[in-house]
Amino acid sequence: MDDLVVVAGAGGFIGGHLVADLVRDGKRVRAMDCKPLEDWYQVDRDADNVVLDLRLRDACFRAVAGAADVYNLAADMGGMGFIESNKGLCMVSVLINTHMLLASQQLDVQRFFYASSACVYAADKQTDPDNPGLRESDAYPAMPEDGYGWEKLFSERMCRHFSEDFGLHTRVARYHNVYGPHGTWSGGREKAPAAICRKVAEAKLTGSSQIEIWGDGEQTRSFMYIDDCIYGTKTILGSQLTEPINLGSSEMVTINQLVDIVEDIAGVRLERQYLLAAPKGVRGRNSDNTMIATMLGWEPSISLRTGLEKTYAWIFDQVAALTAIG
């Protein structure tokens, strides 16, 4: 079974897309998540789909048995509204990576990928909306997002030391705001692109003239389309990189500009109501892609407009279907 690929967190947004892509590549895939199968965002019938709670040690050993490659994308997470209110739950995810690393090391997994986050970056590097781009070295001295960011940074260090101490081939990518179809778009765990697409779609379908924006709309971010994320993830696992690396777009926009683009796609203009007390995260965050461009000769390049057109179309259909049922 030395060609078996394991995807942990396969019931989530990125995991579902990764499983589908690996299956298209002709890989034998074992997909797993703790959610009931009917709650997975995507289920590929050509994969071996398993429901397992990977916070448990025995489940991780069962998960990786016979695997050549392991992609660990499993975590309890969501948008800023979720992670700011669930720091303890986010940190419990450290059990997943701990047990997955132990199982991979002891069961002779060849390659191990860990999905980290831009939330590992020091807060004092993200106070200016004109962020020049976060370099990989900006994670230290450590001052990450409380809860979720600390868990990610600690798990990065575990990967490093399992590589140094046991020779396990580990690769770490710091994801920057991944978006696209077949992701969370409502319920409190959605991220900014999906939330804005949903709000604009709801306004268009109901005839509303207003939209709520968290913060003053001048906070900045970069957003990476899911296709770039999947390509980068597979490329990083197969590379000779030994340090964590940014995987994100360098196309930085304000949240107001993000709304502008979605409104233009939808053909509407809405009055903005700014919720200044709502969770809004750091003031400015962008991905410095010097390392990935230098080391891999590639960087995420799908434009925000192109990705949002596809994302908005999918979310509009979800909102329309829900509205019809209601």
Dmax (CA) for the chain in angstroms is 60
Number of neighbours of residue 252 by Cβ within 10 angstroms: 20
Residues 155 and 212 both lie in one domain: no
Assign 3-class secondary structure to 277-324. CCCCCCCECCECCHHHHHHHCCCCCCCHHHHHHHHHHHHHHHHHHHHH
In whole angstroms, give the CA distance from residue 299 to residue 221.
17
Number of structural domains found in the chain: 2
CATH of the domain at 258: 3.90.25.10
Domain containing 303: what range? 179-222+251-325
What are the residue ranges in the chain where pLDDT is below 70?
A: 1-2, 326
Residues 77 and 208 both lie in one domain: no
Q: What is the pTM of this model?
A: 0.95
Residues 205 and 108 both lie in one domain: no
Closest to 315 measured CA to CA, from 176, 192, 199, 187: 199
Residues 100 and 112 both lie in one domain: yes
Active site residues: 148
Closest to 111 measured CA to CA, from 65, 169, 27, 64: 169
Residues 173 and 139 both lie in one domain: yes
* 269-280 per-position pLDDT tens digit: 999 999 999 888
Which pLDDT value is given to residue 279?
A: 83
Which pLDDT value is given to residue 109?
A: 97
Which pLDDT value is given to residue 226?
A: 98
Q: What is the dihedral of CA 145, 150, 156, 157, to 10 degrees?
A: 130
